[in-house]
Amino acid sequence: MSETHVERRARLMGPNVPTFYRSPVHLVRGEGVWLWDAAGKRYLDCYNNVPHVGHCHPKVVEAIAKQAATLNTHTRYLHDMVLDYLERLLGTFKNGIGQGILTCTGSEANDIALRMAQAATGKTGIIVTDDTYHGNTTAVSQLSARRPQIGERWPNVRLVPAPNSLLRPDPDGTIFAGHVKAAMAELAAAGFGTSALLICPMFANEGLPSLAPGWLAPTEAALRAEGALIIADEVQPGFGRSGSHFWGHERLGFKADIVTMGKPMGNGHPVAAVVTTPEIMASFRNVFSYFNTFGGNPVSAAAAMAVLQVIEEEGLQERAAKSSAYVKDRLEALNHPLIADVRANGLFFAVELRDGDKGATAFSVQLVENMVARGFLMNVIGADRNVLKIRPPMAFDIEHADLLIDALAAALAETKVPA
């Protein structure tokens, strides 16, 4: 019998290589919000924030092709495109952020952010939430609650309970601030001190809780009182996804000292970044002589520049705000006994499914499988894997929202919990 794709993958890549879905999808082509698999089946992409401005956007494709045909090289040569891009990217920030480093992945960006915070504060402790993911370098994997660790977690890392607006309401953020203060006290007693709190401003991997602007203020005050910094991981919220703001930390209303970004930045081309104030950058550069061979090479910079141009030309942030309100209304109108909460943060939605006091884990996982079978890609998040995560490319419009929600209504009616 001939080897399947999944078997070949395991033979060549080893065991436990993550894939989405029980029957992994083998995609071969994309256009806008649409994808096609190897058998010619069409899917509506309701999940992927990497092709931010739409799969294979012609302007991004053209920018990559043109620059690749002209020059691509090591980043230790001078190149205008890289500086033009950084200038434009940094122009989207307020609050003193004025310098950046381009990398290939969000993990690298967070790894640098960690070292920046440590260099700037002289402290080594770091605080993250207990249900997050920030990447896969040796250091950053210590900050990702769900990844198995070899040996004990590093003693300079403290996990605090992630906010959960449904089960543990904390409307003014004082409970979260209390957890952060306790972690800071522990880190001080252990001799590390606190360099920074690292959070995703939407708490996207944690379940996308509903948090009012200003919610982080008590935590921010506690951190500032000790000279600790805030790192905003904008890998998921960034580049206009919230609809109301270009960056997630602006929407939540706190001052980020260091911001990291990745996934949507190059529309699938591997480019990511860490940006900060000139003062923090100087503390980092004075300790580490950092360069990244591929990070922000001319082709990556051209891809990233095209993404910023398309967001502006096509008014994608404004469109996200419009589609957001429409999708939220339609999700709220769905009638199913397990739907416990619907949350929206721009073009990012969470539908929490609960059975009494328990997360409806098996139902949620099966529902996603049924949606994939119907040709709609989405996933589940949250500690109990019971929160539908809907996070389409920014080219997702009202017509697509109607297709999605009609299919979701039918799949909700059809889904039975597997025995």
State which of residues 64, 128, 199, 235 lies at the interface with ligand PMP (CB under 6 A).
Answer: 235
State which of residues 233, 250, 257, 352 lies at the interface with ligand PMP (CB under 6 A).
Answer: 233
Closest to ligand PMP by CB, 208 or 338: 208
Closest to ligand PMP by CB, 198 or 340: 198
Other CB atoms within 10 A of residue 272 CB: 28
Closest to ligand PMP by CB, 193 or 248: 248
Minimum distance from CB of 204 to ligand PMP (Å)? 6
Residue 10 in 3-state DSSP?
helix
Q: In angstroms, rounded to a whole number, what is the distance separating the alpha carbons of residues 282 and 286?
A: 6
**Residue 269 is which amino acid?**
H
Residues 356-415 that bind ligand PMP (CB under 6 A): none
**Residue 325 is which amino acid?**
A
Q: In angstroms, rounded to a whole number, what is the distance separating the alpha carbons of residues 367 and 73?
A: 46
String of DSSP letters for 349-407: EEEEEEETTEE-HHHHHHHHHHHHHTTEE-EEETTTT-EEEE---TT--HHHHHHHHHH
Contact by Cβ (8 Å): 121, 284: no
Instruction: Name residue 43's beta-bridge partners.
Output: 35
Which stretch, 8-16, 70-78, 120-128, 233-241, contacts ligand PMP (CB under 6 A)?
Answer: 233-241
Which stretch, 14-22, 128-136, 218-226, 338-346, contacts ligand PMP (CB under 6 A)?
Answer: 128-136
Q: What is the DSSP letter of 254?
A: -
> What letters, b where the CB count within 10 A reaches 16 and e where it falls short, cover 339-356?
bbbbbbbbbbbbbbbbee
Using rule CB under 6 A, residue 236 touches ligand PMP: yes
Closest to ligand PMP by CB, 192 or 203: 203
Angstrom CA distances, 42 to 27, 30, 39, 104, stand at 9, 9, 9, 30
Minimum distance from CB of 144 to ligand PMP (Å)? 8
Residue nearest to ligand PMP (CB): 106
Closest to ligand PMP by CB, 55 or 389: 389
Which stretch, 130-138, 288-296, 332-340, 342-350, contacts ligand PMP (CB under 6 A)?
Answer: 130-138
Which x/- pattern over 185-224 shows residues binding ligand PMP (rule: CB under 6 A)?
A: ---------------x----x-------------------
Using rule CB under 6 A, residue 133 touches ligand PMP: yes
Using rule CB under 6 A, residue 107 touches ligand PMP: yes
Contact by Cβ (8 Å): 157, 187: no
Number of residues that bind ligand PMP (CB under 6 A): 15
State which of residues 55, 57, 134, 241 lies at the interface with ligand PMP (CB under 6 A).
Answer: 134
State which of residues 135, 240, 296, 393 lies at the interface with ligand PMP (CB under 6 A).
Answer: 135
Report which of 97, 162, 164, 155 is spatially closest to residue 126, judged by C-alpha positions: 155
Q: In angstroms, rounded to a whole number, what is the distance separating the alpha carbons of residues 194 and 179?
A: 13
Q: Phi first, then psi: what are they for 362, rounded to 5°?
A: -60, -40
Which stretch, 229-237, 238-246, 283-291, 337-345, contacts ligand PMP (CB under 6 A)?
Answer: 229-237
Minimum distance from CB of 419 to ligand PMP (Å)? 32
State which of residues 201, 218, 262, 296 lies at the interface with ligand PMP (CB under 6 A).
Answer: 262
Closest to ligand PMP by CB, 53 or 259: 259
Instruction: Name residue 355's beta-bridge partners.
Output: 358
Chain CA centroid to CA 319, Å: 20
Minimum distance from CB of 310 to ligand PMP (Å)? 20
Which stretch, 38-46, 74-82, 105-113, 175-183, contacts ligand PMP (CB under 6 A)?
Answer: 105-113
Q: What residue has token string 């003693």?
A: 155
Minimum distance from CB of 340 to ligand PMP (Å)? 24
Report which of 102, 177, 173, 115 is spatially closest to residue 143, judged by C-alpha positions: 115
Q: In angstroms, rounded to a whole number, what is the distance separating the alpha carbons of residues 19 and 7?
A: 13
Closest to ligand PMP by CB, 158 or 263: 263
Minimum distance from CB of 123 to ligand PMP (Å)? 22
Four-residue CA torsion sign, 95, 126, 388, 208: negative
Which residues of the chain form contacts with ligand PMP (CB under 6 A)? Answer: 105-107, 110, 133-135, 200, 205, 233, 235-236, 262-263, 272
